[in-house]
Amino acid sequence: MKRILLYLKPYRLRMLAGFTVKVTGTMAELVLPYILTHILENVILKQNVSEIVFYGVVMIVFSIIACLGNIIANRMAARVTTNFSKAMRRDLFTKTLYLSGADTDRFTVASLESRITTDTYNVHNFIGMMQRMGVRAPILLIGGIALTLVMDRALALVMIATLPIIFVTVYGISRKGVPLYSNVQKSTDSMVRVAREDIQGIRVIKALSKNEHENRRYDKVNRELSDRERHAGTVMSIVNPVMTLLMNTGIAAVVAVAALRVAKEQSSPATVIAFMQYFTLISMAMMSLSRMFVMYTKCAASANRIAEVLDTPERYEVIASNEKANGDHITFSDVCFSYFGKKNDLENISFSVAKGAHLGIIGATGSGKSTVLKLLMRFYEPTQGEIYIDGRPLRSFSREELTNTIGISLQNGFIYADTIEENIRFGRDLPFSAVENAAKIAQAHDFITAIPDGYSHLLSTKGTNLSGGQRQRVLIARALAGDPQILILDDSSSALDYKTDSLLRAALDEHMKNTTVITVAQRVSSVKNCDLILVLDKGKIIGRGTHEELMQTCEEYIEISHSQMGGAFVD
């Protein structure tokens, strides 16, 4: 909670002003029963109408002050809470964008989504209630007790005797709520993950008629979430009934003692009436505090999850280094890597690529092709070995410097709901000429201009209103638009026909002569013209060389070639 409450620091003056207004309104509300007691005991007996009217007006004025004070304070609290939540969500979202690949894997995407939405909502609700009821309830509670002690100490002590029992009961139950609601949030993560997967794969689910199967899978996580919510709700629902029972017991005791004292003329009926009003205010304050305890348990669980992300240390460290490797553009030197620290997913990967050369990487699914690229982009850090660009250790590049150096196009890249032009520009300060030129090289210009609104054509989320090949060409154009020194094509032409793929390769050769191109592919035809081809299997390089060399020396490459094209290629 301490980490989250730091976000309230910039609003402390505004909160202080809101608290002052809230205190004023609450104190005005607290005085009303006292004025009523004075009227009943002193003013009415005089039968002075003007004095009765005067105190009646005083009560109305205090009522208005109480009403306006609470309204104004609540509005100020709502503004503080909104700004606080906005800042917290912004920082949490920004942090998720800069998490390392390992940290993202550890949290999971579904859990990060849940923390940005559900957890921030729980914290938002508690901070709002803390400003509204967290000020009013203690004042009513303490002020009511103080005034009742002044009015009738014996009756007040009877009422006060029930308060420690109530507090201990509420506190004890609330302590159990934090771990319970932490488990609820974990189940929410699982539900979000399944819903996210099903929404992304809805077409495949429909095509394979697996609607019922996915319904059962969702029902399982939904049932688990419901069970945990029910368990947490059952435990926390004990608070209000127990508190009500204790408060009603206290009221009964107060009424019994009050009757005896009035009968013995040790107290007056007017005092008892005012006393019962104060008791009602104190009861309401205790109810509010109990609700705050319940909300605090949710907030504490959510705050811990949010702070866990915000406090994750920065993994992207930039080192100062004068170290120089060979003169090649990209060098991997005995690089090893493990996702989970148990066994190497990459082992002793070493290769060098000259500037402007083309590197092809091919291998079966799970052979480590994409992992090599993730290490080059510093999504993950090697567990052993070193990577160099232009002779500099990769760790000496700042994040901005590295991203400006590399352009990447993935098979299932990210397309958002905006125009084709903006999807290619992707928030960069690029002129339209750079966008158009990149589209031409990527073989996307012709189909874009064939659309009536051309580059202004609005794409849907994930580009579902384009074909697979068109989406890939837009993504390749995005990678090219920034004129990168290193271009990575990660299976990004798998949906292209052989003719378009061939035209793309020819355009890259013609227009990107000084750019080092890395192509990861399943098709031999996509890498056969590369200057160097690496064949990976189970995280190891089992073959390297040109296409002609591998056709003579690497059995796995030969097998892939023959299985795809019978050993022949159409240029």
Domain CATH for 396: 3.40.50.300
> Amino acid letter at 445?
H
Going by C-alpha positions, the residue among 73, 74, 118, 66 that lies closest to residue 92 is 118
Examine residue 571 and state whether it is found in any structural domain, yes or no: no
Range of the domain at 101: 2-310
Examine residue 536 and state whether it is found in any structural domain, yes or no: yes
Count of domains observed in the chain: 2
Examine residue 316 and state whether it is found in any structural domain, yes or no: no
Tell me: do 188 and 240 sit in the same domain: yes
Tell me: do 235 and 373 sit in the same domain: no
Going by C-alpha positions, the residue among 384, 428, 172, 194 that lies closest to residue 293 is 172
- Of the three residues 310, 340, 362, the one that is the final residue of a domain is 310
Reduced to 3 states, what is the DSSP secondary structure of residue 25? Answer: helix
Tell me: do 338 and 263 sit in the same domain: no
Tell me: do 149 and 262 sit in the same domain: yes
Catalogue the E-assigned strands of 110-263: none
Tell me: do 264 and 356 sit in the same domain: no
- Of the three residues 278, 310, 342, the one that is the final residue of a domain is 310
Model-level pTM? 0.72
- Of the three residues 256, 276, 310, the one that is the final residue of a domain is 310
Tell me: do 29 and 78 sit in the same domain: yes
Tell me: do 382 and 488 sit in the same domain: yes
Which helix (H) or strand (E) segment is 97 a member of?
Answer: helix 49-98
Tell me: do 61 and 7 sit in the same domain: yes
Tell me: do 298 and 345 sit in the same domain: no
Examine residue 434 and state whether it is found in any structural domain, yes or no: yes
Tell me: do 338 and 296 sit in the same domain: no
Examine residue 570 and state whether it is found in any structural domain, yes or no: no
Domain CATH code at residue 38: 1.20.1560.10
**pLDDT for res 174:** 66
**pLDDT for res 327:** 67
Tell me: do 418 and 306 sit in the same domain: no
Residues 6+ apart with CB under 8 A from 497: 469
Examine residue 317 and state whether it is found in any structural domain, yes or no: no
DSSP category for residue 9:
G
Cβ-contact 383, 539 below 8 angstroms: no
Which helix (H) or strand (E) segment is 331 a member of?
Answer: strand 330-337
Examine residue 155 and state whether it is found in any structural domain, yes or no: yes
> Amino acid letter at 299?
C
Examine residue 229 and state whether it is found in any structural domain, yes or no: yes
Beta bridge partners of 520: 361, 490
Tell me: do 263 and 338 sit in the same domain: no
Within 10 angstroms of residue 117's Cβ, the number of other Cβ atoms is 12
Cβ-contact 445, 433 below 8 angstroms: no
Going residue by residue through the chain, which has 571 residues, state the pLDDT in tens, using 9 for 90 and above: 777 778 888 888 888 898 899 889 888 888 888 787 777 777 777 777 888 888 888 889 989 998 898 889 888 988 998 999 899 999 999 998 888 888 888 888 888 888 888 888 889 888 888 888 888 888 888 888 887 787 778 777 877 777 777 777 777 776 776 677 778 877 887 887 787 777 767 767 777 677 788 888 888 888 888 888 888 878 777 777 777 787 778 778 877 887 887 787 777 777 777 777 777 777 777 777 777 777 787 788 888 889 999 998 887 788 876 666 566 889 999 999 998 877 888 999 999 999 999 999 998 888 888 899 999 988 888 999 999 998 889 988 888 888 889 998 877 778 888 899 999 998 888 899 999 999 999 999 999 999 989 999 998 887 888 888 888 899 999 999 988 999 998 888 777 888 888 888 889 888 888 899 999 987 788 888 889 999 998 889 999 999 999 999 888 888 888 887 654 444 4
Q: Residues 145, 146, 149, 151: is their CA dihedral positive or negative?
A: negative
